[in-house]
Structure formats: structure tokens, C-alpha cells
Amino acid sequence: MSISEAMQSAARDVLASGQVQRVIGYETGPHGRVRPAIIDRPEEAERLVWSADCTHNLTVYLHRALTGENGRASREAVAPPARVAIVVKPCDSRAINVLLAEHQFSREQVFAIGMACEGMRQGAPASAPEATLQARCLRCRERVPVVHDVLLGEPPSALPEALPDEALAHVRDLPPAERAAFWLSQFDRCIRCYACRQACPMCNCPTCLFEQEDALWVGMRIAPSEKRTFHLGRALHLAGRCVGCNECERVCPMGIPIGLLNRHLAETVESLYGHRAGMQPVLSPVTGMLSAEESAP
């Protein structure tokens, strides 16, 4: 049985047995592009696929699937599913831990179909033989999801050496003025389409700070000052929470290296606090820890 078939079978079983009411997985679109698929019936499971093009972090759909907040065009009240199954890679599964720590849903509401992961392909469709792994995957040594209820595929016994983050080292080594100039020129391309925020499982505020109805904090201009505030502010809000799935960077139409900024903060948090987001269901020490003085009654 191929790994796609094993996943279809797992999805079919949990739907048919009533363990879950919905499965969030991957399917192939009409032009060969792999994309998220959300299915509610066992017979739809045959649509699901697993390949090295399943790069999307599907945990972005979990909260809305479990609350029924989104997706219905009719006025009929539809009870949200009590439990949802979701296909996760190791990086995605860490997002579940962060969301659990932040009480977005409970562990019982999620059935995680964990995939042993050997990395996702860069850009080109699966058929391109010369396709290489994404840079983030070349740096990653995680092969088994930290959260899973079933594990599919065989994690490789020998791991290739993880590549160092040369892009990050390069930016960090720039003189401060050049580094600032680099980042500001990247942010200035932003068109505030918010694709990065919408694709991010951690960007789950009911009202985004950068989109308040009043302009006390950030105005609605699509101009350098607002763009810089948005990107720097969002990065800080993700410090210790970002799991490095790189969806923000993947979806950006303007090619802004958002993931680079997130990795800088993730490394900083790890070196200061010894915390890696989502390895356990615990809160980020940056946003959740008070000093002894602050927490004193």
C-alpha cells in the first residue's frame, strides 16, 4: 500500500467509525498543484494525496473547523464537528502544541495523522526530477511529528546532516545600517494583502492589532511606515510561537523573506530561554512569562 493509500485508509476509517466528522488533508488540483482538502465523508477519502508537495501547514484550518466560524455560505446553523482529523508534518504538528498551550482547542478535539517526513520539494511540480528540497527542509532534522495519533510512513534511520542557516548568518553579519536597509527595503515591497497573516496558524487574534477600526496604533496607509510596523510587530508576536513552517514566506506575492525574520527571533528565543516553539504544549516564554517582580502579588 502506498503512503497516499495508507493515508486515505486512515482518513476513511476515522470518518466511517465516527471518531471524527471532518478530515483536513491534501489533494491534487486540476493542474497538478497540491492543495488543502477538507472532507466530511468516508467516500471522499480517495481524493487525498501525500507527496513531497504537501507543503501547506493545514493547522491554520483547525480552529475555524472546530468552531464552525468559517466556510458556510448558507444561513442554516450547522453544528461544528466535535473532532477533526488533520494530516501533519513534524513542523505542522508543533503548531498544534502551540495552539493547545494557547487554549485554542483541546487535544481530544484533534486526531493527528502524522506523516514521517523527508522534506518538501522546492517550487516545481512533483514531476520535475531536478527539484530540490526547500531550504527549510534541508535545515530540518525532524522526521516524526511531535503530535500524532497515528504515524504513517517509515522515518529514515539515518538522517542527513542539517545544513546551517547561511542566509540568516549572512544577514546577522551585516553592519547594522546595512542590515536595517536590507529589511526596510524588503518590507517596503509589501502590499498589505495579509496573505502571510492569513496563512499563519499562530496569527489567530480575533482582531489583528494592525487592522483596528481606529488608527491609534497603525493607520491604514499601504506605505513604508505602516508596512514596517506590521512586519516587525508580527514577527515579535511570533517570537517563541513560530514553528518555522514558512507558510508566510511561501504565500507572499512580493517575495519578502518573512521566514528569515522569524528564524532570527526563534533562534534568539532559543538561546535566551532554551525554548523551541511547539516541542511541548507550553506557552512562549516571551509572551507568557513574567519576571518575579511582575508576578509578585
Contact in structure between 234 and 203 (CB atoms under 8 Å):
yes
Residue 13 CB, shortest distance to another protein, in Å, is 22
Secondary structure class of 57 (helix, strand, coil): coil
Of the two residues 23 and 100, which places its CB atom closer to another protein in the complex?
23
Contacts of 293 (CB under 8 A, 6+ apart): none
Would you count residue 289 as binding another protein (CB under 8 A)? no
Distance CA 139, CA 73 (A): 41
Q: Which stretch binds another protein (CB under 8 A): 57-65, 105-113, 122-130, 276-284?
A: 57-65
Q: Which is nearer to another protein, 149 or 226 (CB)?
A: 226
Please tell me whether residue 253 binds another protein under the rule CB under 8 A: yes
CB of 92 vs another protein, minimal distance in Å: 15
Helix crossing, 166-173 with 176-187: angle to 10°? 120
Considering the rule CB under 8 A, would residue 124 count as an interface residue with another protein? Answer: no
> Quick one: which segment of 71-79, 229-237, 238-246, 265-273 binds another protein (CB under 8 A)?
71-79
259 contacts 246 by C-beta, under 8 angstroms = yes
Nearer to another protein, 61 or 275 (CB): 61
State which H helix or E strand residue 49 sits in: none
Which has the closest alpha carbon to 269: 234, 238, 233? 238
Across the strands, what pairs with 53? none
| Of 37 and 98, CB closest to another protein | 37
Helix (H) or strand (E) holding 151: strand 150-152
Q: Does 195 bind another protein (CB under 8 A)?
A: yes
By CB under 8 A, residue 191 contacts another protein: yes
Identified binder of another protein from the candidate list 12, 89, 94, 197, rule CB under 8 A? 197
Site for another protein in 27-46 (CB under 8 A): 29-31, 33-38
Instruction: Please tell me whether residue 70 adopts helix, strand or coil conformation.
Output: coil
* Residue 136 contacts another protein per CB under 8 A: no
Alpha helices in the chain (DSSP H): 3-16, 62-67, 90-101, 135-138, 166-173, 176-187, 195-198, 224-237, 247-251, 258-273, 285-288, 292-295
Q: Contact region for another protein (CB under 8 A) — 3-11, 97-105, 184-192, 281-289?
A: 184-192
Which one among 74, 127, 157, 291 touches another protein, defined by CB under 8 A?
A: 74
Residue 198 in the binding site for another protein (CB under 8 A) = yes
Grid cell at residue 20 = 471524527
When binding is defined by CB under 8 A, the residue of 215, 236, 272, 289 that contacts another protein is 215
Does 172 bind another protein (CB under 8 A)? Our answer is no
Tell me the sheet residues that pair with 22. Answer: 84
State the Cα–Cα distance between residues 142 and 275, nearest whole angstrom.
Answer: 16
Binding positions for another protein, rule: CB under 8 A: 29-31, 33-38, 56, 60-61, 65, 70-74, 189, 191-195, 197-199, 211, 215, 219-223, 247, 250-251, 253-256
